Amino acid sequence: METKTTVIAPEELQKQAEICGEIRARWAEAGRTPRAFVDTYGCQQNEADSERIRGYLSQMGYGFTDQEEEAQIIVLNTCAIREHAEQRVFGNVGALVHTKRAKPGQLICVCGCMAQEQHVADKIKQSFRHVDLVFGPHVLWKFPEFIHTLLTSRGRIFQIPDEAGSIAEGIPVVRQDKVKAWVSIMYGCNNFCSYCIVPYVRGRERSRKPEDILNEVRELVAEGYKDITLLGQNVNSYGKDLDEPMDFADLLEQVNAVPGDFLIRFMTSHPKDATQKLFETMARCEKVAPVLHLPFQAGNDRVLKVMNRKHTIEQYLDKIRALRALIPDIVLTSDVIVGFPGETTPEFEDTLKVLEEVRFDALFTFIYSPRVGTPAAKMDDPMSREEKLANFNRLVALQDSISEEKHAAYIGKTMRCLVDGESGDSRYPLSARTPGNRLVRLTGDPAVIGQFVQVKITDANKWSLFGEMA
Ligand code: SAH
Ligand code: SF4
Ligand code: F3S
């Protein structure tokens, strides 16, 4: 693998912009307004990438549709994190055979993390012959060039170079939301947790320059965005690779200094790199939302070691205590994997102890899924599926009761919430977020969408809070 990350030259991106212009002119000449369908799987990083794919498509003259059969081009931006995510994609790609048969000339593209896996690309090449284009995250910036080739010549394109990755500034963006926005601050991951595919498909850690990030934040605030999430697989190691190194806490401070009324969130943080300086910065910066997503994955030190997480559970708990001492009402969320190879039920029970000790506001729980090419996939995994599922259900039941209790404690409180959209619930038509990002279903008029309002919490269940404008 190429180990050095690169910055894509502005001239290269200019060339892509020119290709977009050529494609737009072709459609205009044909007197047609083509449509694109973009389907996104996986994490916020992929959502952010899809906004750039839409940006390029829009520059190429495409409008958007949510009906596959109307689209001249279909893009599936995929996720490789677990088997289930991959099966869904294969099912959906398979079904597109019929869509394409009914619409000759339709282009079908598969990109994202799954596309970067060689065995997936091989399978698509052999078994899904209706797919025209497969490209990995490293070459997303060349998307217009690929489309131009497909529109002007015959054949299929497979582009999944095995690189450390690059940074491309200035790709156009069409955002999906008017209130909340993603800002990638870095790409890739160096941690190689033994179960995880991300470092293999997303390349090495590389940080965007602070001035590029700050400019993007300023633009978003000027456009009226109220909730900005700084994204990276491990934001706490931001800046180590910059020509002038800085750390994530410094970046947070600088983003906080951008004038305007908006909230700053960030994810994901790795416990080994979450520092006292970060916690102090969070406590001091008034725009930084009082919430931290800090995955601990497993409650047992032996399991953590085999997972290559590089911290013990005591170190994790110490950090939580330090953070709570500074921000007592911090909202805490985490990720947990159940059924890692070799994890015994008593070891799993250590995970339950962590839940009881920390009392997270919410938890994202996963059953371990072997990923081709990762060290854990080669480990002995003697526990039966049934036993894993039984442990998983115990975990979910415990967290549900904690979430319910934590939510009940909000009843009667009044807090400043951001109304971020409609809820689809006729009794509580609006959806809002507390500063700590808990979901509130709200009565009121859609005119307040995009505004901060004082909300009185009137009811709660394990999933959400209910409220009215105070
Ligand atoms: N970079 C983030 C997480 C990215 S993936 C971090 O380090 O926290 C999101 C979550 O998916 C992980 O936190 C982990 O809990 C889960 N996950 C990753 N690989 C998995 C696998 N092979 N099987 C099951 N869950 C997995
Ligand atoms: Fe995967 Fe670990 Fe990197 Fe997160 S930190 S993306 S879990 S390897
Ligand atoms: Fe999935 Fe890739 Fe994100 S594997 S979780 S989309 S980084």
Show Cβ contacts of residue 193 under 8 Å, excluding neighbours closer than 6 positions.
297, 307, 308, 309
Query: Whose alpha carbon is nearest atom 4 of ligand 1?
Result: 233
Q: Does the structure show a pLDDT above 80 at 2?
A: no
The response to whether residue 278 sits with its C-beta less than 6 Å from ligand 2 reads no
Positive or negative: CA dihedral 9, 49, 420, 288? negative
Q: Write the pLDDT tens digit of every residue in 327-386.
A: 999 999 999 999 999 999 999 999 999 999 999 999 999 999 999 999 999 999 999 999
Amino acid making up residue 67 = Q
Residue 6, pLDDT score: 83
pTM (2 d.p.) = 0.96
Question: Pick from 187, 280, 177, 186: which is nearest to 228 by CA?
Answer: 177
The response to whether residue 80 sits with its C-beta less than 6 Å from ligand 3 reads yes
Nearest bound ligand to the CA of residue 232: 1
Mean predicted confidence (pLDDT) in 23-49: 96
Q: Does the structure show a pLDDT above 80 at 96?
A: yes
Show Cβ contacts of residue 385 under 8 Å, excluding neighbours closer than 6 positions.
none
The response to whether residue 136 sits with its C-beta less than 6 Å from ligand 3 reads no
Half-sphere exposure of 305 (CA within 13 A, CB side): 4
Residue 405, pLDDT score: 97
The response to whether residue 366 sits with its C-beta less than 6 Å from ligand 1 reads yes
Q: Which atom of ligand 2 is nearest to the CA of 199?
A: 8
Q: How many whole angstroms separate alpha carbon 179 and alpha carbon 121?
A: 36
At residue 349, the 3 state secondary structure works out as helix
**Alpha-carbon distances of 80 from 116, 163, 197, rounded to whole Å:** 9, 17, 7
Buried b / exposed e over 11-28, threshold 16 CB at 10 Å, is eebeebeebbeebbebbe
Q: How many whole angstroms separate alpha carbon 434 and alpha carbon 420?
A: 11
Q: Does the structure show a pLDDT above 90 at 5?
A: no
